[in-house]
């Protein structure tokens, strides 16, 4: 007889990643299938929602959004779970098209500090597979590699990601295999309605500026749509409201770090920047922006150590016009991803958000105004002063004027279409969850978090 309170029940943390390829499949869909099996057929008790952890978005070998999945369960048959899991990942991954899956298993109630620190770094740094394997063996984390097995990096990192404070939820609905590849028919008026009615408790469902529905992807993958928001109840209700006529496989709620800017918490102001890092720096503008063809804007900044960096604001972010108004001395805070510049190989900081902290006065020296004629005086030659050509009045020096600056302090985000999964929408600033999420304290999950149709 199955007894959830039995001493034989073990807490098992399961991470997996890199099961899909550019051509198809989807790690979250695999997570849905595995979760259905574990919950419905293997008596596993989920002690947390399945986690969809978005890791450093600047990893060059990622497929799309660098998402890894972690399932945390209590079970009295961990060996059978592992056997099923490995068999399923092997069968259901897109190995022939370049997926390099990795699975990580950790048994125990508490997640060790070293593992949590590893996961924090995976949010902003590039981690080596050897380092991952070393840590795994030190902490008795079992890892399993398929193909080149790069997925163990994300798999291990997902287990160490507790998403203790700020986090969000996404309810993702999956298509039946026979419909994958066909257009997704969705009632846009319903999407507009949930976008209005559930604001600010759902986000990124609709882009009103470009009149685009955002809940459905466009590729051949099995995701029909996803609703992102602040709590499981709201995302489930909103998802059920927009469900299509097409018969779906089911849906599942993930707890995620999407919409939290978690990759940008790392202060790179005084650190040595490495290509593919994510983070933020506080700096001063040292060279005015130039705009190149295509509307991309480049300028130079300097941090407190007087290191100089080239900053790029690319056109699709929609921040170019604003950035082009910066001048030397402006104090800014920028969320960045570090990439290799083309011309001389030095790093370029690609802007993910721009906060203007302080704007300096812009002063120019201009020829003095004639008090009688109200006309600008003309220069009489170098160091010879100025004279009014109408009345002959003279003046010794230019006058200093302060130009008005068409720029306000504040935080500016890229347009919605340029958002990453991790980008925190403007309205979430101030809405962050600051209380710890404690999966150890048994808290039942919303009863409808997993549904098969
Ligand atoms: P999708 O979003 O469609 O699930 P993806 O963008 O997550 O796909 P993957 O196919 O999972 O892409 O590939 C990401 C790869 O990068 C994985 O092998 C993962 O282990 C690895 N990876 C993730 N984070 C890091 C990191 N910080 N350093 C090095 N490698 C990483």
Which pLDDT belongs to residue 341?
76
Distance 422 CA to ligand 1 centre (A): 14
| Residue 441 pLDDT greater than 80, yes or no | no
Is 61 near ligand 1, meaning CB less than 6 Å away? yes
State the average pLDDT over residues 205-222. Answer: 93
State the average pLDDT over residues 80-106. Answer: 94
Mutation to probe ligand 1, out of 55, 161, 223, 337 (largest number of atoms < 8 A from CB): 55
Which pLDDT belongs to residue 21?
78
Query: Closest ligand 1 atom to the C-alpha of 128?
Result: 29
Tokens standing for residue 278: 């994510």
pLDDT band at 438 (very low <50, low <70, confident <90, very high): low
Nearest-angstrom CA–CA distance, 284 and 278: 19
Q: What is the pLDDT of residues 223-241, one digit of tens each?
A: 999 999 999 999 999 999 9
State the average pLDDT over residues 191-203. Answer: 97
Q: What is the pLDDT of residues 248-272, one digit of tens each?
A: 999 999 999 999 999 999 999 877 8
262-361+405-423: CATH class: mainly beta
Non-local (6+) Cβ contacts of 411 within 8 A are 353, 354, 355, 426, 429
Q: What is the pLDDT of residues 27-59, one digit of tens each?
A: 999 999 999 999 999 999 999 999 999 999 999
Mean residue pLDDT of the chain comes to: 93
Is 151 near ligand 1, meaning CB less than 6 Å away? yes
Answer yes or no: are the C-beta atoms of 139 and 115 closer than 8 Å: yes
Q: What is the pLDDT of residues 320-333, one digit of tens each?
A: 999 999 999 999 99
Distance 19 CA to ligand 1 centre (A): 10
Q: Where are the domains of the chain?
A: 10-162, 262-361+405-423, 362-403
Percent of the chain with pLDDT over 70: 97
Which pLDDT belongs to residue 440?
56
Q: What is the DSSP string of 294-352?
A: TTEEEEEEE-TT--EEEEEE-GGGT-HHHHTT--TT-EEEEEEEEEE-SSSS-EEEEEE
Query: Closest ligand 1 atom to the C-alpha of 100?
Result: 18
Nearest-angstrom CA–CA distance, 111 and 160: 6
pLDDT band at 442 (very low <50, low <70, confident <90, very high): low
State the average pLDDT over residues 5-18. Answer: 88
Answer yes or no: are the C-beta atoms of 251 and 273 closer than 8 Å: no
CATH architecture of the region 10-162: 2-Layer Sandwich (3.30)
Query: Closest ligand 1 atom to the C-alpha of 20?
Result: 10
State the average pLDDT over residues 201-207. Answer: 97
| Residue 342 pLDDT greater than 80, yes or no | no
| Residue 279 Cα distances to 35, 122, 332, angstroms | 33, 12, 14
Q: What is the pLDDT of residues 108-131, one digit of tens each?
A: 989 999 999 999 999 999 999 999
Nearest-angstrom CA–CA distance, 21 and 18: 8
The residue behind tokens 């699709």 is 316
Distance 287 CA to ligand 1 centre (A): 36
Q: What is the pLDDT of residues 57-68, one digit of tens each?
A: 999 988 889 999
pLDDT band at 4 (very low <50, low <70, confident <90, very high): low
Mutation to probe ligand 1, out of 69, 98, 153, 279 (largest number of atoms < 8 A from CB): 153
Predicted TM-score of the model (pTM): 0.93
Mutation to probe ligand 1, out of 62, 147, 266 (largest number of atoms < 8 A from CB): 62
| Residue 134 pLDDT greater than 70, yes or no | yes
Distance 322 CA to ligand 1 centre (A): 33
What residue owns the CA closest to ligand 1's atom 22? 154
Closest C-alpha to 154, from 52, 263, 249: 52
Is 67 near ligand 1, meaning CB less than 6 Å away? yes
Mutation to probe ligand 1, out of 28, 31, 51, 63 (largest number of atoms < 8 A from CB): 63
**Quick one: CA dihedral 219, 29, 192, 204, positive or negative?**
negative
Distance 452 CA to ligand 1 centre (A): 28
Distance 61 CA to ligand 1 centre (A): 7
Nearest-angstrom CA–CA distance, 59 and 371: 63
Distance 183 CA to ligand 1 centre (A): 27
First to last CA, the chain: 28
């Amino acid at each position: 007889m199955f007894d959830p309170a039995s001493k034989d029940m073990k807490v098992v943390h399961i991470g997996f990643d890199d099961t899909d390829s550019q051509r198809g499949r989807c790690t979250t869909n695999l997570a849905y299938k595995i979760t259905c099996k574990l919950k419905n057929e293997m008596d596993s008790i989920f002690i947390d929602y399945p986690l969809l952890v978005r890791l450093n978005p600047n990893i060059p070998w990622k497929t799309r959004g660098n998402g890894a999945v972690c399932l945390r369960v209590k079970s009295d048959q961990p060996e059978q779970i592992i056997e099923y899991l490995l068999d399923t990942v092997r069968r259901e991954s897109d190995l022939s098209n370049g997926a390099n899956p990795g699975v990580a298993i950790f048994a125990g109630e508490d997640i060790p500090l070293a593992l949590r620190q590893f996961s924090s770094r995976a949010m902003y740094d590039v981690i080596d597979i050897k380092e991952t394997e070393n840590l795994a063996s030190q902490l008795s984390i079992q890892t399993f590699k398929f193909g080149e097995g790069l997925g163990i990096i994300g798999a291990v990192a997902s287990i160490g990601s507790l998403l203790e404070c700020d986090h969000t939820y996404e309810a993702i609905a999956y298509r039946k295999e026979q419909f994958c590849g066909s257009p997704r028919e969705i009632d846009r008026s319903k999407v507009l309605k949930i976008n209005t009615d559930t604001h600010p408790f759902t986000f990124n469902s609709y882009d009103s500026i470009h009149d685009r529905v955002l809940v459905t992807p466009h590729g051949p993958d099995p995701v029909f749509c996803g609703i992102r928001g602040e709590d499981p109840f709201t995302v489930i209700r909103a998802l059920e409201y927009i469900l299509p006529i097409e018969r779906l496989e089911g849906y599942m709620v993930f707890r995620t770090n999407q919409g939290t800017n978690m990759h940008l918490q790392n202060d790179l102001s005084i650190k040595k920047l490495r290509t593919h890092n994510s983070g933020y720096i506080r700096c001063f503008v040292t060279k005015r922006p130039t705009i190149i063809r295509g509307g991309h804007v480049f300028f130079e900044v300097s941090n407190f150590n007087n290191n100089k960096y080239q900053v790029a604001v690319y056109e699709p972010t929609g921040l170019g016009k604003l950035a082009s108004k910066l001048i030397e001395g402006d104090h800014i805070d920028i969320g960045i991803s570090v990439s290799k510049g083309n011309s001389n190989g030095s790093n370029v900081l690609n802007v993910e958000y721009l906060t203007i902290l302080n704007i300096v006065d812009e002063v120019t020296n201009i020829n003095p105004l004639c008090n009688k004629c109200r006309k600008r005086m003309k220069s009489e030659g170098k160091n010879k002063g100025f004279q009014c050509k109408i009345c002959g009045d003279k003046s010794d020096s230019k006058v200093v004027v302060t130009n008005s600056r068409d720029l306000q302090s504040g935080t500016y985000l890229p347009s919605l279409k340029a958002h990453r999964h991790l980008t925190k929408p403007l309205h979430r600033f101030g809405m962050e969850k600051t209380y710890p999420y404690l999966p150890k304290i048994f808290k039942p999950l919303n009863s409808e978090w997993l549904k098969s149709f």
